[in-house]
Amino acid sequence: MAVGVTFPRGFTAAGVTAGIKASGRPDLAIISANESVPAAAVFTRSATAAPPVLVSQGHIAGGTTRAIVISSGNANAATGEPGRRDAERMTTLVAAGLGCAPEQILVASTGVIGVPLPMDMVEQGIAFALAGLQDDGGADAAVAITTTDAAPKLAEREVETSIGTIRVGGIAKGAGMIRPDLGTMIAVVTTDAPLDSQQTEQALRDAVDSTFNCITVDGCTSTSDTVALLASGVCAGALTAGDVGLVSSAIHAVCEDLALQIVRDGEGAHRIAHWTVTGAKNTEEARIVAYAVAEAQLVRCALNGGDPNWGRIVAALGVTGCSVPAERIAITLGGHTLCRDGMAVEIADLAAVNEAAARDTVEIAIDLGVGDGAASIWASDLSKLYVELNAEYTT
Show which residues are catalytic: 184
How far apart, in Å, are the Cα atoms of 71 and each of 110, 212, 281, 315, 366? 6, 21, 43, 42, 41
Three-state DSSP at 240 gives coil
Backbone torsions φ then ψ of 145, nearest 5 degrees: -95, 0
Backbone torsions φ then ψ of 331, nearest 5 degrees: -135, 130
Q: Nearest Cα to 219, choosing from 188, 184, 258, 187?
A: 184
Could you write out the DSSP letters of every residue in 32-62? EEEEEEEEEEEE---TT--HHHHHHHHHGGG
| Burial class, 300, CB count within 10 angstroms (exposed 0-12 / middle 13-18 / buried 19+) | buried
Q: Which amino acid is it at 163?
A: I
Residue ranges with strand state E in 75-140: 105-112
The C-alpha angle 95, 231, 258, rounded to 5 degrees, equals 100
Q: Which secondary-structure segment (H or E) carries 251?
A: helix 241-264
Kindly tell me the sign of the dihedral angle through the C-alpha atoms of 75, 79, 80, 83. negative
Q: Is 283 within 8 Å of 373 (Cβ atoms)?
A: yes
Task: Using the CB atoms, write b or e for 191-210: b if 16+ within 10 Å.
Answer: bbbbbebebbbebbbebbee
Q: Nearest Cα to 93, choosing from 106, 102, 84?
A: 102
